Amino acid sequence: MNELLFSVGGALALIGIVAGGGGVLTYVFRKLFADFGQRLGPNRVGPYGILQFVADGIKLVAKEDIIPARVERWGFRLAPHLTFVPAVLAFSPLPFSEGLIITDVRVGLILIFALAAMAPLGEVVAGWASNNKYSMLGGLRAAAMDVSYEIPLLISAVSVILLAGSASTLEIVKKQNELWFFIPQILGLFVFVAAMIGKVGVLPFDLPDAESELVAGYVTEYSGMRFAFFFLTMFANVFFIAALTVTLYFGGWLGPFGLHLPPMLSFIWFFLKAGVLIFVVFWLWNSLPRVRIDQFLNINWKLLFPLSLLNLVITSIMVAWGVAR
Amino acid sequence: MNTLVKELQREFAHQIEEAGDLLDKPFVRLRREALFTFCKAAREKGFDYLACITGVDRPQERALEVIYNLYSYEYFQHLVLKTRCPYEDPVVDSVGLIWKAALFLEREVFDLVGIGFTGHPDLRRILLPEPWQGHPLRKDYSLEREQFVNKDTQGRDVVSFEPTEGW
Amino acid sequence: MTEPYTIEPQPDSKDLLVLNMGPQHPSTHGVLRLILKIDGETVRDVQPVIGYLHRGFEKIAEGGRYPHFIIECNRADYVASYTYEVAYVRAVEELTGLQAPPRARYIRVICLELDRIQSHLVWLGTFGLDLGALNAFWYGFRERELILSLQQELTGVRMHPNYFRFGGVKADFPDGWIEKTRRVCDEVERKLDEYEDFLAQSDTFLMRTRGVGVLPKEMAIDWGVTGPNARASGLDFDLRRDEPYFAYSDMKFTVPVRTAGDCYARFEVRLEEMRQSIQIIRQALERLPQGPLILDGWEKGYQFLIAPKGEHYTRVEGPRGEIGVYLIGDGTTFPYRVKLRSPCFQNLSVLPELMRNTLIADLVAINGSFDIVMGCVDR
């Protein structure tokens, strides 16, 4: 009974994290976007417009759910769930602090990447089912990007696993007690963040929904709640990049210079660090032009992939000689 | 008058009906048949830029006039070229093979004034819908007769003179 | 608009996907419709379809007296409305033999250059947006707003001035306008360096623009491409310098020319042109002569201007190229025929040649770099 309660509670907490976190991030993004563009941003709903995301959510829920006449109805309805559910589940092995983790599995990192690998499925199904050429191109681009960026992503994560000697996210963070992994893994960090941004698909790598080329990519035909799922997934993914990077490279809930907070409060460090990384992602989003699809794939195969392999070799040597650990 | 134009005038003396000045720019009026060869010669002489083609309706003379504005980037010289075609046979030669710029300009003249250009590779209406009735820049074009463009069942543009569904 | 809506599959294109881009698409800047035939991401054929914004200006011109068309013609290119208006006014003046007084000529130069800057700023913003540099859009429009408010103080409206008259201009500068313009010039000049840092120093921007959409010089001349687009291809020609009108012969400025002919060259040329425009405005404000704004008796008399029987082709350097007016007068108060030679129309005609065998993303970049305004194309 307890376990069942825990599972249900955990599931609800997950959805809460994703929906709440994603919602807040849309507000933060709009405010930051406005600041970078020297505009005001949302400022009408609530103090400083902070309730804007609630209003947006209500609007999206209340909106008519339009399914165009000639779409593949089954796939069209399925696709948002195919994107949203893995994105939510991927949060479950992430430790927000030592006690704040929903499932600690021994192969947590592997589980995360397995779930992340499901993302292109939803995008391709959405693109195909929409019966729209822009959607299809967007879905194909999303698939091409996700598949190619998985490889450097995984290889640089493997370096971390080597260094920590475990694939459990809790263990990885605990191993960083003396030294955060971004110092021995500086190369890996670069590859990881670049590949992660590419995988999530925000500017400069937002090719699947490049609005000046493909209108809105695979979400072109979606509206209302189904669109909200895609939208939320994107922002949840931004949060996810930051959270995963913090876990793997910046010591999770551990404070810098031994400034550890008591276990109940140590999630504050986690969210602070994640916040900084999210800011960096938004910053890139707002300042870099979009790359072309061929350049994008070139960056992956000619830069990130060799770098990640090099990093793996260096890490192996370090581990073998006992420099790290 | 500049030398370029003089040379051209000497060469085509029999084809030129009238020559003179339009304010600061020299102009020649050609016989319709000589248009293409004249333009070819002009291009070779250095008039490398076709700025503008204007179609004019002249109801008094029952003729349509085509006016070409040429310019030479090399010698900084203008030339205004005119030719006429009668209402009964509103066709002149296309100069699209000489200046690519003429491809769009001739389509526009064809669309709005109704002058055909023989030898144009793709002579269709450009600004107005394909089934449009009449040519608006003719002086006898009726502005009172409104035209409404709709799609028929095959998805093609059709013109009707009564507002139909959707208007 | 001239195309049948359904496109018959061609024998050679049975494996190509026909993609209808526009007339409502974020990056076609208005109502340009491009019918693409794509092979994966590669564009194999482009067919532009225009005319969605055709308002029949040339016919409207024949229906009114000479001054009535001043109000209309600035709507043709709604981004550079001053320039169109000046072009028409100049055509009528030259046909009639009027010569505006010196002060009016200087004011016209200032207006034209302000207009050029704000038009280029719109281009800069939308070009950035096309490439995904979202904030370039806000920055460009922020500075444009300064210039629009200057124009509003001078003419009363932000975009469609109806300010130029045959033989002069309507009103003098309001109090403090000159100092304010100088301040705006300083501000915009400083901001231009920021744009250059923001865009030209970004590797991604260079990757997207260098070597993309190369337009050779001969091709530019052949297709009648003018203005900054031609100068980026190495055509060293500027009507302000080579056929000076109004007070341009008194001004000192350089004409930026690049030979690369790619999107980046067009970007550089336009940025440099804005700087030169600021120099011209400064000089014009410096040397602004005193005197009447409009010829004696023309304040009211312009309503019934009678142009002599005759024809004339006038061209001025607009922000997008040569804006020409072919005017035929027949000795009445009505123009017999007004032909507007639109620079965008000609610039657009060459686009399919450049877009063939590029990627969709390049197509968007090329279209953005050419600065097509559909109002100007369709008239």
Question: Chains A, C in contact: 3+ Cβ pairs under 8 A?
Answer: yes
The yes-or-no verdict on residue A167 having pLDDT over 60 is yes
- Which of the 8 DSSP states describes residue C35? E
Q: Which of A212, A220, A294 to mutate to test the interface with C (most CBs of C within 10 A)?
A: A212
Query: Does the domain spanning B3-121 belong to CATH 3.30.460.80?
Result: yes
**Inter-chain CB proximity A287 and C135 less than 8 Å:** yes
The yes-or-no verdict on residue B1 having pLDDT over 60 is no
**Inter-chain CB proximity C132 and A212 less than 8 Å:** yes
> Considering its fold, how many domains does chain A have in total?
1
- Say if residues C278 and C188 touch (Cβ distance below 8 Å): yes
**Adjacency order of strands within the sheet including B25-30:** B16-22, B25-30, B77-86, B63-72, B49-58
Question: B101: nearest CA in chain C?
Answer: C223
Q: Is B47 helix (H, G, I), strand (E, B) or coil?
A: coil
Which chains pack against A, by 3+ Cβ pairs within 8 A?
C
Q: Which structural domain, as residue segments, surrounds residue A312?
A: 69-321
- Which of the 8 DSSP states describes residue C359? E
**Inter-chain CB proximity B126 and C51 less than 8 Å:** yes
Mean pLDDT of A252-277: 77
Q: Which of B64, B76, B127 to mutate to test the interface with C (most CBs of C within 10 A)?
A: B127
pLDDT at C301 (0 to 100): 65
Measured between alpha carbons, how far is C163 from A247 in angstroms, rounded to an integer? Answer: 64
pLDDT at A226 (0 to 100): 85
Give residue-wise pLDDT tens across range C158-216: 888 888 888 888 888 888 888 889 899 998 888 888 888 888 888 888 888 888 888 88
Q: How far is B152 from chain C (nearest CA, A)?
A: 10
Measured between alpha carbons, how far is C125 from B135 in angstroms, rounded to an integer? Answer: 38
The yes-or-no verdict on residue B95 having pLDDT over 80 is yes
* Two tokens, residue C242: 């080579």
pLDDT at C14 (0 to 100): 60
Q: Mean pLDDT, chain B, as a whole number? A: 83
Question: Tokens 């004696």 correspond to what residue?
Answer: C296
Round to the nearest angstrom and report the end-to-end CA distance of chain A. 41
Measured between alpha carbons, how far is C65 from C304 in angstroms, rounded to an integer? Answer: 7
Is A63 part of a structural domain of the chain? no
Q: Which of C34, C131, C134 to mutate to test the interface with A (most CBs of A within 10 A)?
A: C134
Phi and psi dihedrals of B53, rounded to 5?
Answer: -120, 125
Mean pLDDT of B133-145: 84
| Region label for A224, one of left (φ > 0), alpha (ψ between -120 and 50) or beta (otherwise) | left
pLDDT at C360 (0 to 100): 84
Measured between alpha carbons, how far is C282 from A57 in angstroms, rounded to an integer? Answer: 51
Residues of chain B with CATH 3.30.460.80: 3-121
**Inter-chain CB proximity B100 and C349 less than 8 Å:** yes
The yes-or-no verdict on residue C3 having pLDDT over 50 is no
- Say if residues B90 and B64 touch (Cβ distance below 8 Å): yes
pLDDT at B16 (0 to 100): 78
The yes-or-no verdict on residue C2 having pLDDT over 70 is no
Least confident of A127-136, A149-158, C14-23, C186-195: C14-23
Round to the nearest angstrom and report the end-to-end CA distance of chain C. 14
Helix axes A267-287, A2-36, angle to 10 degrees: 40
pLDDT at A66 (0 to 100): 82
The yes-or-no verdict on residue C112 having pLDDT over 80 is yes
pLDDT at A323 (0 to 100): 64
| H or E element, residue A23 | helix A2-36
- Say if residues C42 and B119 touch (Cβ distance below 8 Å): no
Which chains pack against B, by 3+ Cβ pairs within 8 A?
C
Q: Which of C18, C43, C129, C131 to mutate to test the interface with A (most CBs of A within 10 A)?
A: C131
Q: How far is C323 from chain B (nearest CA, A)?
A: 10
Q: How far is CA B83 from CA B5, B35, B68, B93, C247, in A?
A: 16, 8, 9, 10, 35
- How many C-beta neighbours within 10 Å does residue B114 have? 18
- How many C-beta neighbours within 10 Å does residue C174 have? 10
**Inter-chain CB proximity C132 and A290 less than 8 Å:** yes
Question: Tokens 């002058």 correspond to what residue?
Answer: B115
Give residue-wise pLDDT tens across range C121-161: 999 888 888 888 778 888 888 888 889 998 888 888 888 88
Question: A207: nearest CA in chain C?
Answer: C361
pLDDT at A133 (0 to 100): 85
Measured between alpha carbons, how far is A113 from C152 in angstroms, rounded to an integer? Answer: 58
Mean pLDDT of B38-67: 87
Instruction: Note whether B110 contacts C: Cβ–Cβ < 8 A.
Output: no
Question: Tokens 């998805």 correspond to what residue?
Answer: B155
Q: Which residues of C142-158 are buried (b: 16+ CB within 10 A; e: fewer)?
A: ebbebbbebbeebbeee
- Which of the 8 DSSP states describes residue C282? H
- Residues of chain C contacting A291 with CB distance shorter than 8 Å: 204, 207-208
Is A107 part of a structural domain of the chain? yes
- How many C-beta neighbours within 10 Å does residue C31 have? 20
Residue from C103, C113, C251, C253 nearest C181 by CA: C113
Mean pLDDT of A298-310: 87
Mean pLDDT of B43-70: 88
Mean pLDDT of C350-370: 86
**Inter-chain CB proximity C204 and A36 less than 8 Å:** no
Q: How far is CA C4 from CA B104, B136, C55, C208, C344, in A?
A: 19, 21, 21, 34, 24
Higher pLDDT, C339 or A92: C339
Question: C226: nearest CA in chain B?
Answer: B51
* Two tokens, residue B84: 């006429």
Mean pLDDT of C348-377: 86
Mean pLDDT of C218-237: 89
Give residue-wise pLDDT tens across range C267-281: 989 989 999 999 899
Mean pLDDT of B22-45: 84
What is the predicted ipTM? 0.86
**Inter-chain CB proximity C312 and B143 less than 8 Å:** no
Helix, strand counts (H, E) of chain A: 13, 0
Is A155 part of a structural domain of the chain? yes
How sure is the predictor about C5, in pLDDT bands with cuts at 50, 70 and 90?
very low
The yes-or-no verdict on residue C13 having pLDDT over 80 is no
Give residue-wise pLDDT tens across range A56-91: 888 888 888 888 888 888 888 888 888 888 888 888
Q: How far is C46 from chain A (nearest CA, A)?
A: 15
Give residue-wise pLDDT tens across range C292-322: 888 777 777 677 777 788 888 888 888 888 8
- Say if residues C194 and C138 touch (Cβ distance below 8 Å): no
Phi and psi dihedrals of C47, rounded to 5?
Answer: -130, 110
* Two tokens, residue B147: 């035209």
Q: Mean pLDDT, chain C, as a whole number? A: 84
Give residue-wise pLDDT tens across range A93-127: 888 777 667 777 778 888 888 888 887 888 888 88
Structural domains present in chain C? 66-303 (1.10.645.10)
Measured between alpha carbons, how far is C188 from C141 in angstroms, rounded to an integer? Answer: 11
The yes-or-no verdict on residue C9 having pLDDT over 50 is no
Measured between alpha carbons, how far is A76 from A81 in angstroms, rounded to an integer? Answer: 10
Q: How far is B54 from chain C (nearest CA, A)?
A: 6
Residues 6+ apart with CB under 8 A from C5: B151, B155, B156, B157
Q: Is A25 helix (H, G, I), strand (E, B) or coil?
A: helix
Least confident of A166-175, B63-72, C86-95, C183-192: A166-175
Name the percent of chain C lying above pLDDT 70.
Answer: 96
**Inter-chain CB proximity A293 and C41 less than 8 Å:** yes
